[in-house]
Structure 1
Amino acid sequence: MRHVTAGGDALVLMPTGGGKSLCYQLPALCRPGMAVIVSPLIALMRDQVAALRQVGVEAAALNSSLTGPERAQVRAAMRENRLKLLYAAPERLMVPDFLDMLAGTPISLIAIDEAHCVSQWGHDFRPEYLQLAMLAERFPNVPRIALTATADPQTREDIAKRLGLEESARFVSSFDRPNIRYAVMPKSGPMKQLQTFLKAHEEESGIVYCLSRNAVEETANALCTQGVNALPYHAGLPADVRAANQDAFLTSEGLVLVATVAFGMGIDKPDVRFVVHLDLPSSLEAYYQETGRAGRDGLPAETLLLYGMQDLVLRRSMIEQGSSPPEIKRVERAKLESLLGVCETATCRRQAILAHFGEILAQPCGNCDNCLNPVETWDGTVAAQKALSAAWRTRQRFGVGHLTDILLGTLNEKIERFGHDKLPTFGVGTELDRKGWGAVFRQLIARGALEVDHDSYGALCVTEYGDAVLRGREKIFFRQDHGGKSARAMLKKKAERIALAPADEKLFEVLRAERARLAKEQKLPAYVIFHDATLAAIASARPKDRQELGQLPGLGTTKLDRYGDAILAIVNQAN
């Protein structure tokens, strides 16, 4: 903040909820003129403008959701130099007449949020971001700051190059979000697993991600029939329904939003208590950003990723059948492999995630499923050789189901038609059941011993590494998946949210009710008024006057003036 306030350019990498917005908001208040914030999503603009206005800052946004008169009001405020921060989407910012208007306005700084969108190596590339490099030429003396929460070293270099920030200062903070608990499990009746998980999170807000629009609709409907307050969100919904569902999620408490990845970037709701993935994300960066929407208020939050063999096949198929050039596909495959590595690791997941971003966590975190419920490993070399042999002896033309039938000695029409009951591998794998062989094949694919031939309808092919395992030159160890009661116990495990003395819990609930009333009155999300952590601090400290109240977190001068007397009246009544 000191660097940007002094007029320097910066590239900032900081985790979701780590305070990226402050890195440009505070310098914007300190420097003369109006700050321009480039943001890709209307929801983020709306949330940040509302929060800034709550603390007395003149801020506005220009986007497609505004009416003609509303846009005219913003432009008038710009001409009269009344704004300190203006949020705009990249495509609107680069319109020539808008750039001309900015040229006549004193600009304090330009902030480019979600800067990974400029990189083709990133997980959310947006072509319109490429035009933002022109801002350096158009406003050469205005400091620029680019910010992102998810960028591996290669993506960071690409961001700097594409935005002309190669010589700028770089600020990289820890990517660790210690309040978030990571859990990854193989799919085993995903709806049932989801139901078990949600029972531990009643009356809490959360996001459930699905890969397809159909899956979103089906999951949301199923949850509603089970009494869960759930709404769908995907790009195929009518715009007004999509906006209404998003607003309901932002302003309500205890609502579950079932969504595709079309939802989420820029969502500033701090009290999201859980994020569930019912399908495998596209990369570790996508997974990290999506899980990072939980626990932005710093309070404990849980995440759950369910994945299976079909996810691996589908994700790899999406890469191979995509229109990206070969070099980009190679990177996409590598990013998916990094995510699979985290899924299959038997050690601390947080250590594996942070290592991908170039950060070393010295000790296991103690707050992921592998730390809380240590995983056993087993020497899977012989089982792997049987599976690899089945693929090799059938000329690498068949998928998991058929190969499993061979290993289990299952006689059916297809086995007889191809004469596979005569193979030496027929019936040699009865030490494992079908689920066990599914885990073996899944981990062989994840480890790169087998690869899926998408042109041959999912046939499994033995790789060079797989050949080394098959011929006894390499050993391979597999994780022993949790099953039965152990898995259910993990799904039900929930961290304590706010540590309040029993005597203070009633006051906390009264304060929450008052916050809800104020939010409804002003048509704002409750968290824009106060975070739960602020209400908990008030309930615990029981301040006697404005001076004591003002020393608590989340209570600046403007909020003291606006809400101080009402809060003190509630506290005094409780005393």
Structure 2
Amino acid sequence: MSSPTDQRPDALEALRRVFGYDSFRGFQQEVVDHVVAGGDALVLMPTGGGKSLCYQIPALVRDGVGVVVSPLIALMQDQVDALTAVGVRAGFLNSTQDLNARRAVEAAFLAGELDLLYLAPEALAGRGTVQLLERGRIGLFAIDEAHCVSQWGHDFRPDYLNLSMLHERWPGVPRVALTATATSATRAEIATRLRLTEARHFVASFDRPNIQYRIVPKREPRKQLLSLLRDEHPGDAGIVYCLSRASVEKTAEFLVANGIPALPYHAGLDAATRAANQQRFLREDGLVMVATIAFGMGIDKPDVRFVAHLDLPKSVEGYYQETGRAGRDGLPSTAWLAYGLQDVVQQRRMIETSEGDLAHRRNLAAHLDAMLALCETVRCRRVQLLEYFGETSAACGNCDTCLEPPESWDGTIPAQKLLSTVFRLDRERNQRFGAGHCVDILLGRTTDKVTQYGHDSLTVFGVGTELSEAEWRGVVRQLLAEGLLAVEGDYGTLALTETSGEVLGRRRTVMLRREPARAPSARSAKPRGAATVVAELAPAAAGIFERLRAWRAATAKEQGVPAYVIFHDATLRQIAGDAPASLADLARISGVGEAKLAKYGEQILTVLADEAAPA
């Protein structure tokens, strides 16, 4: 095997000729050299960081076929289309194909006429697929979305546990496992389960500086979402995540009724409807996908300008991966979450009633605690997020807590009043109630329920009028987040915890977060989507950019592929700004490789000439 240095010109040549890029980014070059030389690798790189090139280039340079194991059956056709568009010989084998299509791909593999072959992990459990691979020449194995091997992860796939067999059957073939989301513990689990303990680790920064992270108090979440879309992302593509199927349907209907083109996606829809909605989202501009977390992994749509959550994610890993689907092209994007008391109550109850042993429930609780800490922090969101993945950073100046810093205040006395209310209901009356009733008691409200149970005679009745109802609900939410209160039963009643006594006994100070009183400033509420991209171009270039986008949309529709398969916005933006006058000039644009230059070069020059021609 040649040394990495000897292989480097070949890798760079493939990068330039096929993909149209002059140089690698970050440590892509190191990964490529390592894998080309036959080494195993575990690669952690944020969404949009260029993970795929880390196995695509070695597959083009090494002898044999690069076999890519991916859980994304619904997206394999798009992945192959994107590679075919740049001249890569790619195919896939999965359950969506008929017998003739499968045989054609198998024959191409055996004949050495493929550069890359995509497989679902389930396929490797079948004897026929393994026998097929043993008859061909394999250059490398790439295990994409490798976090799916983590048994307590948010995207666990049981079939990934069988992928250790790749090392056993093909010990001399290099393997590269890739993911965008993994803590150090998850990395260790991936390495152990995939037999990659000797692999070299490549860990990039988890920072996505183009994404603005914002978490807002949940009031009327759908109306808040509508304001976000109208004020900051008019006409932009985006994803809205909801916890339940019913919420997905209602939110999609609400957006459509208010003039926002939106589609639903959840496991309760039939497969044909899910596939059709996913294809529309990928192929059309400006659509909003409202979905459960069943949607999104592997979605290679670069111009998703926002990801919004109407319900609290269960973990920081899930939140990071879902928000990472915004701004893959590196342009300004928004990660927005509406978060409230009921989210905490609901998630705590789900953990208590979840299947699994005590260790599993503790694991879920630890994940939720980290997510709650991110929501309640008064520090920079990005600093808190990156710390979770073991990375240090400085305040970003581009998240809500940086733009509108919240206050931290001593909430020990209000916490004592609330905990005392729960204590007296439980110990003195042998009764438990939810947050709303406890707040009514503290505010001295003589509601029917308060008078019915005689709670207006409690010593804590009316002792909390210094705070508003919204502020009291914030106190409840934050005590739940810190584990100083618990939620029990089907009705979400409040109960004390082992640590509640520290607060009641004045042995613990409770610092709470107070939301900024004023509305978001213009700095944090200005449009951040496609309009920003156009605004940053010179007036003449902005017009050319729009003409190029229109040409791309028509071309993509004609070919039945997503627009980004033709060219990314970033490439069109550079073409609009540079206005190349010849094919040679166009070849120097980043993202224009040989195949795309030959296929689309003359068309682009025609668009540019038409734009420059006098009216």
Residue 43 of structure 2 aligns to a residue whose secondary structure is strand
Residue 459 of structure 1: how far off its partner (Å): 2.2
Which letter does structure 2 place at the counterpart of 1:357?
F
* Aligned pairs (5 A) from 1:16-415: 16-199=47-230, 200-361=232-393, 363-395=394-426, 397-415=432-450
Give CA-to-partner distance per residue, 1:42-96, whole Å, 9 cap, x none. Answer: 2332222111101100001111222222112111211222111111110012211
Residue 457 of structure 1 aligns to a residue whose secondary structure is coil
* Aligned pairs (5 A) from 1:348-497: 348-361=380-393, 363-395=394-426, 397-453=432-488, 455=489, 457-483=491-517, 485-486=519-520, 494=528, 496-497=532-533
Residue 381 of structure 1: how far off its partner (Å): 1.5
Residue 561 of structure 1: how far off its partner (Å): 1.1
Which letter does structure 2 place at the counterpart of 1:441?
V
The alignment's C-alpha RMSD in Å is 1.6
Kept in 1, the 8 Å contact 2:405–2:516? The answer is: no
Which letter does structure 2 place at the counterpart of 1:445?
L
Distance 1:250 1:193, change over 3 A: same
Q: Distance in 1 between matches of 2:102 and 2:389?
A: 40
Q: Distance in 2 between matches of 1:391 and 1:492?
A: 44
Residue 570 of structure 1: how far off its partner (Å): 2.1
Kept in 2, the 8 Å contact 1:196–1:492? The answer is: no
Q: Distance in 2 between matches of 1:456 and 1:242?
A: 32
Q: Which segment drifts farther, 470-479 or 509-518?
A: 470-479
Residue 425 of structure 1 aligns to a residue whose secondary structure is coil
Residue 462 of structure 1: how far off its partner (Å): 2.4
The residue number in structure 2 matching 1:544 is 581
Q: Distance in 2 between matches of 1:219 and 1:487?
A: 27
Which letter does structure 2 place at the counterpart of 1:330?
R
Kept in 1, the 8 Å contact 2:74–2:275? The answer is: no
Residue 182 of structure 1 aligns to a residue whose secondary structure is strand
Q: Distance in 1 between matches of 2:286 and 2:51?
A: 27
Residue 546 of structure 1: how far off its partner (Å): 1.9
The residue number in structure 1 matching 2:27 is none
Q: Which segment drifts farther, 522-531 or 412-421?
A: 412-421
Residue 347 of structure 1 aligns to a residue whose secondary structure is coil
Give CA-to-partner distance per residue, 1:556-575, whole Å, 9 cap, x none. Answer: 11111111122122223333
Q: Distance in 1 between matches of 2:75 and 2:41?
A: 21
The residue number in structure 1 matching 2:28 is none
Q: Distance in 2 between matches of 1:521 and 1:295?
A: 26
1:553 aligns with 2:590: yes
Distance 1:489 1:383, change over 3 A: farther
Among candidates 517, 520, 537, match of residue 557 of structure 2: 520
Residue 288 of structure 1: how far off its partner (Å): 0.4
TM-score (norm. length: structure 1): 0.97
Which letter does structure 2 place at the counterpart of 1:433?
S
TM-score (norm. length: structure 2): 0.91
Q: Which segment drifts farther, 312-321 or 91-100?
A: 312-321
Kept in 2, the 8 Å contact 1:115–1:146? The answer is: yes
Residue 395 of structure 1 aligns to a residue whose secondary structure is helix
Residue 110 of structure 1: how far off its partner (Å): 0.6
The residue number in structure 1 matching 2:544 is 507
Which letter does structure 2 place at the counterpart of 1:528?
V
Q: Distance in 2 between matches of 1:325 and 1:70?
A: 45
Q: Distance in 2 between matches of 1:296 and 1:339?
A: 23
Residue 488 of structure 1: how far off its partner (Å): 9.9
Q: Distance in 2 between matches of 1:129 and 1:514?
A: 41
In the alignment, structure 2 segments of 5+ residues that lack a partner are 1-31
Which letter does structure 2 place at the counterpart of 1:400?
A
Residue 464 of structure 1: how far off its partner (Å): 3.5
Give CA-to-partner distance per residue, 1:115-139, whole Å, 9 cap, x none. Answer: 1111113222111111111111111
Which letter does structure 2 place at the counterpart of 1:341?
A
The residue number in structure 2 matching 1:8 is 39
Identity %: 55
Kept in 2, the 8 Å contact 1:197–1:492? The answer is: no
In the alignment, structure 1 segments of 5+ residues that lack a partner are none
Q: Distance in 2 between matches of 1:44 and 1:213?
A: 22
Count of aligned pairs: 573
Q: Distance in 2 between matches of 1:373 and 1:484?
A: 9
Residue 493 of structure 1: how far off its partner (Å): 5.6
Which letter does structure 2 place at the counterpart of 1:517?
A
Q: Distance in 2 between matches of 1:541 and 1:63?
A: 42
Residue 492 of structure 1: how far off its partner (Å): 5.8
Q: Distance in 2 between matches of 1:30 and 1:163?
A: 24
Distance 1:481 1:572, change over 3 A: same
Q: Distance in 2 between matches of 1:487 and 1:450?
A: 34
Q: Distance in 1 between matches of 2:118 and 2:464?
A: 61
Give CA-to-partner distance per residue, 1:159-208, whole Å, 9 cap, x none. Answer: 11111111111000101110111100121011110110110212110011
Q: Distance in 2 between matches of 1:465 and 1:152?
A: 28
Which letter does structure 2 place at the counterpart of 1:13?
L
